[in-house]
Structure 1
């Protein structure tokens, strides 16, 4: 019977009558029967009302959301009360968290979802020059995720949510376009969204997510890269139309030799790197590049320079 019910829910999800996600362990237990209500709530959160339109009882919570991107559960309760769905407001929060549209910061009551949450699309932006590691000698490795002409913005915001919910990571600073996390007591890493202009109307801009790992424990670089790659694969599978990602995105370091020959930034694609990175000593990525993993990550390029 359970299988038949899920078939029915998937059918109505495809028709647009409801919202149902069978692939997610949390969301597969819920179905949104009135999608417009959820859309109205999201629209309200993203487009914070002007001060004169805010209820005085929660005006300070609206202001906090506008300035910091932090949503208080009391504000969600108030919004759901206005929408006459007060009884299910904890489920609304769970759904938004399950889709990585929000992620929890502090929760004091798991049942009623009492606490504070971050709404990534409302986070303030920062100039990347002000945020990157202060000196280049502090950086061990730099990797890129290249999505080609597909905008990386919404992938990046969901990636923030997944990193913040990962038990092995502790967030240090978070902005709309950049964030720093601690993978261990001595290892920091940073991610930011980056676009390289093609400089031509005939070519598309390249949309990237940049990963910088500090040098204190260089052996962690590939582990962090693989963890983020897994997160991005999950985000694409769960959230986006697969037709937009018919060509698998590329992730890896820049090869200076190939870049100089091709006149553009070329990446050594590590997307298919062995999962057992602890045992990796040598790995042939393609006909030119070999990756070595003996402590610090490194690679070689045998492409002839003509």
Structure 2
């Protein structure tokens, strides 16, 4: 859920426990990298800055050479890759601020606070001057909230009418809302056809609803009337309208607004009868049942296999959004029982071809989504690129809305170069920066890691590795040539939106990592 609420322009504080780094420094660095890539993928401008804070300093000071080892590791492993967004500690000249919360006055904590204030003031976005009449629009919103019982959202046309009484134009209101959205004060999705008519004034309220929906309450807290509905969500990943009403605990209009927002973010997928606008239940992709991957349809030896490689950025949020979009655009009730939390099978709407998406978490630095497209005969093979390009287009749309700097590569795998530790060698056909090859480029050539590769797109997809020519299929009949894929997920940390703290996001990236930044004495 953190991608829903991370502001576009902010000072981020990434917190970890130095005691845990003492036990396994490499693991903590890998966790920090995941969060750094996530922040970088989410930011639309280069105004974001990240402070890495290590807590429990006194617990590790007595370990000779440990802090030197940490600072050297951070300088070598993190700064080279993220120098554009990392804040530097002027005392140690590294992107790390060690602090000790148990001290009445922590000198390092005071330095951290002073550095945050200085860096924030130097951000280009905070130097931009805004019209003073923005304060009047803020006052209008505040007065409106005071008059309403449940003022966590407002319709845009209602705000426009209120603002017009003070001679503000539609353009004035739109510019003001965009500024507030970028700074994290509210949520205004002007780029979404569903959400552009609503303004979320209290993001924390929406976060609480999403938390209630995505985290099951203890059995003792479920009402007997609602127990069966909760169990349906637990076992089938389907939430009824009655359950949504119970969670939101409000009017039908509130349920409609919340559902539309969650649907726009692909967190809910309403099940609507044919030719009807209303719905009685919703698919919750993140709560779909688990399925043994070996029991999922995974194609045949002649089918085509491609991988979407997102590097360090956790791919499960992308996968669930793709899963929801695939079902929305290509619904087939006969395949409803083929939707699972980590894989889904679909029939392409316009052509008689099946395809499968599967979530793979091979290593911490390689988050993958696997696409298998049915191509057992020449007629079906002509549709492979059509399916692949459609999935890429949906991914690019998700990226444009919420992950503007999300890195990814798309292509077949070379089974010879894939290593024994689960790392798949993806041969890049296209990426976030490169378009899909045209018909005039049927052969893509690579020279990576000292080995020559060719990917031929016609008449079928073939990978040439050195002097060996291999098909791309990585299905059950050829799985022995592919390194084993781990299904373990370990996504660190949590994100909360706090009232009055929208410009500083504190991210907890490890267990028992807390932070208390004291005010310096005047």
Q: Same fold (TM over 0.5)?
A: yes
1:64 aligns with 2:232: yes
Q: Distance in 1 between matches of 2:409 and 2:423?
A: 15
Which has more radius of gyration? 2
CA distance in 1, matches of 2:323, 2:287: 13
**1-side partners of 2:391 and 2:305: how far apart?**
13
In structure 2, relative to structure 1, the CA distance for the partners of 1:50 and 1:301 (3 Å cut) is same
Query: CA shift at 1:284, angstroms?
Result: 4.2
CA distance in 1, matches of 2:331, 2:444: 28
1:50 equivalenced with 2:218 (yes/no): yes
Aligned partner of 2:195 in structure 1 is 27
TM-score under structure 1 length normalisation:
0.81
CA distances 1:166-201 after superposition (whole Å, capped 9, x unpaired): 14877441111111111267421111111223xxxx
After superposition, the Cα gap between the structure-2 partners of 1:255 and 1:35, relative to the gap in structure 1 and judged at 3 Å, is same
Give yes or no for contact 2:416–2:465 (8 Å, CA) kept in 1: no
1:213 aligns with 2:373: yes
Would the alpha carbon gap of residues 268 and 20 (structure 1) be closer, same or farther in structure 2, given more than 3 Å must change? same
Q: Distance in 2 between matches of 1:46 and 1:67?
A: 13
Q: CA deviation at 1:53?
A: 1.5
1:22-171 equivalence runs, <5 A: 22-80=190-248, 82=249, 84-107=250-273, 113-133=278-298, 136-137=300-301, 139-167=302-330, 171=335
Match of residue 458, structure 2, among 293, 298, 301: 293
Q: 1:57 to 1:108 in 2, by over 3 A?
A: farther
- Match for residue 175 of structure 1? 340
**Could you say what secondary structure the match of 2:272 adopts?**
strand
RMSD: 2.9
What residue in structure 2 maps to residue 200 of structure 1? none
Equivalents in 2 of 1:179, 1:6: separation in Å? Answer: 39
Runs of 5+ unmatched residues, structure 2: 1-168, 447-452, 469-522
Shift of 1:34: 2.2
In 1, the alpha carbon distance for the partners of 2:309 and 2:223 equals 44
- State the alpha-carbon separation in 2 of the partners of residues 69 and 232 from structure 1: 23
1:107 Cα offset (Å): 4.8
Instruction: Using CA pairs under 8 Å that are at least 6 residues apart, name the structure with larger relative contact order, 1 or 2.
Output: 2
**Distance in structure 2 (CA, Å) of the matches to 1:289 and 1:273:** 18
C-alpha spacing 1:50/1:257, structure 2 compared with 1 (3 Å): closer
Q: Residues 232-261 of structure 1: CA distance to partner in whole angstroms, max 9, x if unpaired?
A: 112222123x45x3xx3111111346658x
- Aligned-residue offset at 1:99: 0.9
Task: Tell me, in whole angstroms, the C-alpha distance in 2 between the residues paired with 1:7 and 1:205.
Answer: 39
Superimposed CA distance per residue, residues 82-129 of structure 1 (whole angstroms, 9 cap, x where no aligned partner): 2x4543211111111011111122358966x43211111111212211
- The question of 1:190 aligning with 2:360 is answered no
Residue 10, structure 1, aligned to residue 10, structure 2: no
Structure 1 distance, partners of 2:182, 2:251, is 25
Displacement of 1:289 in angstroms is 3.1
Once the two structures are TM-superposed, the CA of residue 57 in structure 1 deviates from its matched residue by 3.2
Report the counterpart of residue 233 of structure 1 in structure 2: 396
| Mapped partners of 2:435, 2:179: distance in 1 | 37
Q: Secondary structure at the match of 2:348?
A: strand
